[in-house]
């Protein structure tokens, strides 16, 4: 492992400093830790914000980058801590109701038809999903928006009041980060601004809740749509990655390498 970093010191809610001082320090692997020299204690008193570990570099006074963590990018961490203004909507709800005869509904819907939602997915090339797992995904979503036909403004055949013609949802840790998923609009209704309307509303609600780092995955054909909603590609040079499969190493037992062909 590389050199240890200087890490923020946080007080324990279980033991006060006096109580902690009365207990023998221990290695993580067991046994008592060697005593800390007085010089080291003096160093700690001079900088009460960090615990200095042998080999650690002094903390810099610059902005946190996060690159040394190796878990998430510093750019992501910084985006989650910024203070963005709440984005405005390009068209309010009344525009969609009066112009298109549709309304936005939020959250879990008791009257939602999962088969209808699966058909909506299939209409744009998304895979149909097991209804049990789909229901679980909806329950665990942070927010869900549906575009539902509210009246007969649209006289097209096959359109009926209560029909779901658009859908999107997001997941979130409820504090820093959120990701928008499954943005889908019925092909007959595409080009009317419904996709942008859903993304704008989801983003607005998230930032109103002080969730500042909002991300999504975009297919090349719809990158332009999300850019209009304020999203940018690879912000700060960050690359989105998704687990696909474990890579096999050459010569591993799984690919048969190294096995003897001798009869047994």
Tell me 154's DSSP state: -
CB 228 within 8 A of CB 196: yes
Residue 172 lies in a domain: yes
Confidence at 73, pLDDT banded by 50, 70, 90 = low
**CA 144 to chain CA centroid, nearest Å:** 15
Residue 113 lies in a domain: yes
* pLDDT, tens only, 160-214: 999 999 999 999 999 999 999 999 999 999 999 999 999 999 999 999 999 999 9
Residue 210 lies in a domain: yes
Residue 47 lies in a domain: no
Token couple for 247: 């890579």
Which residues are part of the catalytic machinery?
226
Q: How many domains does the chain have?
A: 1
- Cα angle 81, 83, 87 (rounded to 5 degrees) comes to 130
| Mean pLDDT confidence for 109-138 | 93
Confidence at 264, pLDDT banded by 50, 70, 90 = very low
Residue 40 lies in a domain: no
* pLDDT, tens only, 81-94: 778 889 999 999 99
Token couple for 102: 């549709």
Residue 81 lies in a domain: no
Distance separating alpha carbons of residues 210 and 85, to the nearest angstrom: 10
Q: What domain range includes position 140?
A: 93-231
Confidence (pLDDT) at 19:
41
**CA 141 to chain CA centroid, nearest Å:** 11
Residue 179 lies in a domain: yes
Q: Is the whole model's pTM more than 0.75, yes or no?
A: no
Three-state SS at 134: helix
Of all residues in the chain, what percent carry a pLDDT higher than 90? 51
CATH at 117: 3.40.630.30
Poorest-pLDDT segment among 46-55, 70-79, 186-195: 46-55
Instruction: Using the predicted structure, report yes or no on whether residue 23 has a pLDDT greater than 60.
Output: no
Find, among 181, 190, 198, the residue nearest to 146 by Cα: 198
Residue 194 lies in a domain: yes
């Amino acid at each position: 492992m590389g050199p240890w970093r200087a890490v923020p010191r946080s007080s324990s809610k279980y033991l006060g400093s006096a109580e902690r001082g009365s207990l023998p320090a221990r290695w993580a692997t067991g046994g008592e830790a060697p005593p800390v020299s007085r010089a080291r204690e003096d160093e700690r008193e001079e900088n009460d914000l960090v615990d200095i570990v042998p080999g650690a570099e002094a903390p810099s006074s610059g902005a946190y980058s996060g690159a040394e963590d190796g878990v998430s990018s510093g750019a992501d961490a910084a985006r989650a801590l910024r203070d963005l203004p709440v984005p405005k909507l390009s068209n309010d709800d009344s525009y969609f109701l009066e112009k298109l005869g549709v309304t936005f509904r939020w959250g879990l819907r008791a009257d939602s038809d999962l088969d209808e939602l699966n058909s909506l997915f299939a209409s744009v090339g998304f895979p149909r999903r097991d209804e049990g797992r789909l229901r679980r995904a909806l329950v665990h979503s942070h927010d869900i928006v549906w575009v539902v036909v509210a009246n007969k403004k649209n006289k097209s055949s096959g359109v009926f009041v209560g029909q779901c013609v658009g859908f999107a949802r997001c997941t979130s840790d409820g504090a820093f980060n959120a990701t928008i998923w499954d943005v889908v609009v019925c092909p007959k209704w595409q080009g009317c601004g419904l996709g942008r309307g859903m993304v704008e509303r989801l983003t607005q609600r998230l930032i109103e809740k002080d969730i500042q780092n909002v991300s999504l995955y975009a297919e090349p054909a719809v990158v332009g749509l999300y850019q209009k909603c304020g999203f940018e590609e690879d912000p700060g040079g960050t690359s989105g990655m998704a687990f696909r499969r474990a890579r096999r190493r050459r010569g591993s037992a799984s690919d048969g390498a190294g096995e003897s062909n001798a009869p047994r």
